[in-house]
Amino acid sequence: MDVDSAYLHGKIDHNLYIYFPDGYGRPGKVGKLNKALYGLPEAAQVWHEDLKDKLKSLGFAPLGSDTRVFLNKSSTGFTAIDTHVNDGTRIFLSEEEESRLKAGIQKFYKIKEKDTSKLFKGLGILVMRTLTEEPSS
């Protein structure tokens, strides 16, 4: 999943001004930015905060050890999302979970689907559980 114009969704919470580019017809004037632009040092952080807020509203929680990974467990299944800039790789346990996530994300962002299935043919998932008793040998 790819979010269209991702960095433009993040709102800047402080005053930031830029000079108009040459040829714009306003020499010496500045403009105040209300949203992040690609190339700003804080653009990725602002975008990630916006995405985190939206995913939390959909019932996701960031993984404590990696805040780019978001998890959601519901009565119909489990979803994990690994985010990187404006892309998200998802793992679902059901098609219902996939449909629910897509519908939720599309409330906030315009998305493009990418066929990344070929990249993860060898993906293995290790599930670790805390045992209450020793396994029998």
Q: What is the pLDDT of residues 18-42, one digit of tens each?
A: 888 888 877 788 888 888 777 788 8
User: Residue 46: CB partners within 8 Å, gap ≥ 6?
Assistant: 7, 10, 11, 12, 36, 40
Average pLDDT rounded to a whole number, residues 4-30: 81
User: Residue 38: CB partners within 8 Å, gap ≥ 6?
Assistant: 7
Tokens at 113, concatenated: 């689907």
Predicted TM-score of the model (pTM): 0.68
Give the span between the Cα atoms of 107 and 9, in whole angstroms.
13
Q: Is the pLDDT of residue 110 over 70?
A: yes
Q: What pLDDT score does 59 carry?
A: 92
pLDDT band of residue 62 (cuts 50, 70, 90) is very high
* CB of 21 closer than 8 Å to CB of 31: no
Q: Is the pLDDT of residue 126 over 90?
A: no
Lowest mean pLDDT among 5-19, 80-94, 115-129: 115-129
Name the one residue in this structure whose structure tokens are 């991702």: 6
- Give the burial class of 83: count Cβ atoms within 10 A of its Cβ; 0-12 exposed, 13-18 middle, 19 or more buried: buried
The DSSP letter of residue 1 is -
Q: What pLDDT score does 83 carry?
A: 83
Q: What pLDDT score does 54 carry?
A: 92
Q: What pLDDT score does 122 carry?
A: 47
**Residue of 6, 58, 51, 14 whose CA lies nearest to 34:** 14
Delimit the domains of the chain by residue range. 2-115
